[in-house]
Copies of this chain bind each other. A is one copy, B any other.
């Protein structure tokens, strides 16, 4: 596939770390929440191997925050998600599908509860701020909604703990998965969560001061030398192997949360009030006709820029693969696909066209094993 340069502008925002990653050799970008998100450094495959063995520092400022505060903030946040947050605790992170009144997905943020009346929705790639503002205006809720100047640095990989301990002390090892707390370093207090868009372990540092973020970036590379630290970014291969879904790739506003396998984050039988609750109950009653599953394809490369159709041997549509990459672990192309119901338990091979040739593959459960 030919490469096309991206034309920068204020509309595709740079981050406080852009100068640094460019001097360190970022080699491609995507755009995420109107911001530049690095896509590769050495290569997607080289980055993948490094991420699974060492530790990387990621500029994921594009994971923007929607801050919702004020008297009705808990009510508004609950209206936006089908996950029951009534027993949510300060200091915890909640992965939560957002659903509109038609029962369709809007985003799948991590919701950080900072106080009983203050929340940060750490969002995937859609303008959740306008959804929140629309509901708040429509229901005349007493809330403040804004996008704070928070620019996340992620520290990911099996050696992430070692590196972070050097800066923040042993105490950081006590931080549990999907919990956050505040940690001091060189006179600045950092909001740190044990989370991240990989399954290699690590942290996300929510930085609300550009200088503090840039300093931390440099300290991480200084201290990380002994752990072979490198700049990195969410890695296409690793995130598919780990079955971490991507809004806009694997599901979008035309899909409902059952189709995206969000069942365990849906609390339709609780008392809490959220948009689309009745619609979702109806969908549950009727059952869904397609859902996201894994696919494995007998080939060594694939370029994805739109979904690709899967056919059975009678040329009926099996489904559509939405994200895919060659996996060095499975030694096949693996992907995330929306599969039609008749094929959910199929052991038969499907056909797919890649670069004008036909290849075969099979359907599997997620996560991949």
Query: Which residues from chain A sit less than 8 Å from chain B, CB to CB?
Result: 1-14, 18, 22, 26-31, 34, 39-40, 100-102, 106, 125-139, 145, 147, 246-249, 253, 275, 303-307, 322-323
Contact = CB atoms under 8 A, between A and B. Distances in A.
B11 A28 contact: no
A40 B7 contact: yes
Contacts of A34: 125-126, 248
Nearest to A8: B305
Contacts of A303: 8
A231 B13 CA distance: 27
B14 A8 contact: no
A262 to B, nearest CB: 18
A7 B40 CA distance: 9
A12 B147 CA distance: 23
Q: Which 9 A-B pairs have the closest CB atoms?
A: A138-B138, A134-B134, A11-B248, A127-B127, A101-B137, A3-B5, A130-B131, A8-B305, A31-B31
A7, A40, A127: residue with the most chain B Cβ atoms closer than 10 Å? A7
Contacts of A127: 126-127, 130-131
A5, A27, A304: residue with the most chain B Cβ atoms closer than 10 Å? A5
B5 A28 contact: yes
Contact of A29 (B6, B129, B253, B307): B6
Contact of A7 (B7, B14, B30, B139): B30
A249 B132 CA distance: 23
Given A8-B304, A34-B248, 10 more contacts: A4-B5, A4-B26, A7-B28, A7-B30, A8-B303, A10-B249, A14-B306, A101-B137, A134-B135, A138-B139
Contact of A306 (B4, B10, B30): B10
A26 B7 CA distance: 12
Contacts of A247: 11
A214 to B, nearest CB: 15
A27, A130, A137: residue with the most chain B Cβ atoms closer than 10 Å? A130
A297 to B, nearest CB: 16
A307 B125 contact: no
A132 B134 contact: yes
